Amino acid sequence: MATTWCPVCGTPHENRADCPGELISETPERHGWRVNVETPSGIEAYGVLVAKTNGGLWRSRVLTYPNVLWAIPGGSGTIKFAADSPVDAERQAIEFIRAHCRERGFALRNEVALSTPEKISGDAAELVQPVAATRIIRFLPIRFGVVNPSEIGGTGNLSETGLFVITNHPLDVNTRLRLLLDVADNPLTLTGDVRWMNSNPRVGRSPGMGVQLYAPPDQYADYVRTL
């Protein structure tokens, strides 16, 4: 039977009453269990990220390293698991990864428990190293420009500290940009610097530019944490 993923919380459940609501993290996500996996395309590293949410529950998400979060079917959000403790939230994600690999015949190698139950229990999650800003694949309409955000583009991915703008006309590195991002019919004004650009599109790589955001508003960070 196929797993039913909730479009609101991102966790697997069938009854609407079981939905805990949006699982927005109130602490930085931490590296958890990690494993190398033999796939038909080569070795991949899967892992678990753990954070406490604003509702008091603990949340885990699944990551293909270095920075691709697993999404629910349809791409409306990321796969999440919720529990009263970080250990239980992490355990659900581990079981999901194991089942995913077992169904596909992938072999697991070199498992690493970066967040053991002893380390991550209670408020001791700070003992685990924090995760660098994770990029989430999501297309949103965006406008950008040096003076006024008039050029039209789209986002390739988002993180709390930056984003990738898909455009056939990327600007030079170190250019300061003004951006207007359309988030749920609520345009957000952002400022950022171009850190790298790609003007030569090829298979698997869109033309565009990576932008590091300067003092992004809280509304932007809150939105990214819900993905």
What is the residue extent of each domain of the chain?
Answer: 16-127, 136-226
Residue 140 has pLDDT above 70, yes or no: yes
Residue 153 has pLDDT above 80, yes or no: yes
Residue whose entry in the numeric block shows the structure tokens 């990738």: 164
What does the pLDDT look like over 49-99, one tens digit per residue?
999 998 889 999 998 877 788 988 877 789 999 999 999 999 999 999 999
CB 63 within 8 A of CB 47: yes
CB 154 within 8 A of CB 142: yes
CB 97 within 8 A of CB 103: no
Of 1.20.120.790, 2.40.10.220, 3.40.50.2300, 3.40.190.10, the CATH number of 136-226 is 2.40.10.220
What lies within 8 Å, CB to CB, of 128 at 6+ separation is 30, 31, 32, 50, 114, 115, 119, 120
What does the pLDDT look like over 85-137, one tens digit per residue?
999 999 999 999 999 999 999 888 766 554 434 343 344 333 333 444 566 77
Lowest-pLDDT range of 40-44, 167-171, 175-179, 188-192: 40-44
Output the pLDDT for position 145. 92
- What is the SS3 string spanning the chain? CCCCECCCCCCECCCHHHCCCCCCECCCCEEEEEEEEEECCEEEEEEEEEEEECCCCEEEEEEECCCEECECCCCCCECEEEECCHHHHHHHHHHHHHHHHHHHCCEEEEEEECCCHHHHCCCHHHHCCECCCCCEECCCEEEEECCCCCEEEEEEEECCCEEEEECCCCCCCCCEEEEEEEECCEEEEEEEEEEEEECCCECCECCEEEEEECCCCHHHHHHHHHC
What is the reported pTM?
A: 0.53
